[in-house]
């Protein structure tokens, strides 16, 4: 059962990688994708592979502490995935594309993107009306991912739960109750970021 579950989650990540890469949101070898397994471990993309050409062999299995179980090197940003899973027990998938809209939004808005009066807000977990106010914080990029994970966690402690965050000049992190739900959140957030950017007379295209 464990192997069958891993294969299923891995195949879902492969498919999401193809979808996001086809949209230009995971260029070159950028981004990373993961899913939680029933035993607390993770399935996560291996480091340095183009996400549009993934196979199941490009998905690494980790234990609950983030240690690879097959000797291969997982994404360099594994610590950021682990921090989200530890913070939110209901989360089953974390997706990190490097999309133009998220990156441009980080340059325009600097500290946070505030989303309200968007119908697509209702795609986000727990949001039931367009009138909600959702804040997507923006953090300075940092090559020390352990330190960055602590910064994100400290922000959540101070400000409350979040649906996503952006690393400035880098990309978006969001997460959901399944791989599919997390993908829907990426799509909704990217659309809303694009709308907000256009209000400021800029375009990621």
Reading the chain (205 residues) residue by residue, the pLDDT tens digits are: 588 999 999 999 999 999 999 999 999 999 999 999 999 999 999 988 999 999 999 999 999 888 888 878 888 899 999 999 999 999 999 999 999 999 999 999 989 999 999 999 999 999 999 999 999 999 999 999 999 999 999 999 999 999 999 999 999 999 999 999 999 999 999 999 999 999 886 655 5
Burial of 105 (0-12, 13-18, 19+ CB in 10 A): buried
Distance CA 46, CA 183 (A): 19
3: Cβ contacts below 8 Å, ≥ 6 apart? none
Predicted local distance difference test score (pLDDT) of residue 157: 96
- What gap in Å lies between CA 64 and CA 25, rounded to an integer? 28
Q: pLDDT value at position 199?
A: 87
Q: Using DSSP, state whether 46 is helix, strand or coil.
A: strand
Residues in CB range of 57: below 8 A, 6 or more apart: none
**Over the range 116-129, which residues count as b (16 or more CB within 10 Å of their CB) and which as e?**
eebebbebbbebee
> Residue 137's beta-bridge partner residues?
112
- Give pTM, 2 decimals: 0.94
H or E element that contains 179: helix 179-199
Walk me through the domains of the chain, giving residue ranges and CATH numbers: 2-199 (3.40.225.10)
């Amino acid at each position: 059962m464990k192997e069958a579950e891993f294969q299923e989650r891995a195949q879902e990540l492969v498919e999401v990688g193809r979808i996001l890469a086809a949209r230009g949101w995971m260029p070159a070898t950028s981004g990373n994708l993961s899913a939680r397994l029933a035993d607390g471990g993770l399935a996560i993309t291996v480091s340095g592979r183009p996400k549009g050409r993934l196979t199941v062999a490009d998905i690494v299995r980790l234990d609950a502490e983030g240690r690879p179980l097959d000797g291969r090197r997982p994404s360099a940003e594994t610590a950021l995935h682990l921090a989200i899973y530890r913070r939110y027990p209901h989360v089953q998938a974390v997706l990190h594309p490097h999309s133009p809209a998220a990156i441009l939004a980080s340059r325009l808005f600097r500290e946070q993107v505030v989303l309200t009066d968007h119908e697509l807000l209702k795609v986000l977990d727990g949001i039931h009306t367009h009138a909600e106010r959702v804040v997507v914080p923006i953090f300075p990029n940092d090559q020390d991912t352990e330190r960055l994970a602590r910064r994100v966690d400290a922000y959540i402690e101070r400000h409350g739960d979040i649906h996503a965050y952006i690393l400035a000049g880098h990309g978006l992190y969001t997460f959901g109750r399944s791989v599919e739900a997390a993908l829907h959140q990426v799509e909704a957030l990217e659309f809303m970021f694009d709308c907000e950017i256009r209000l400021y007379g800029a375009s990621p295209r």
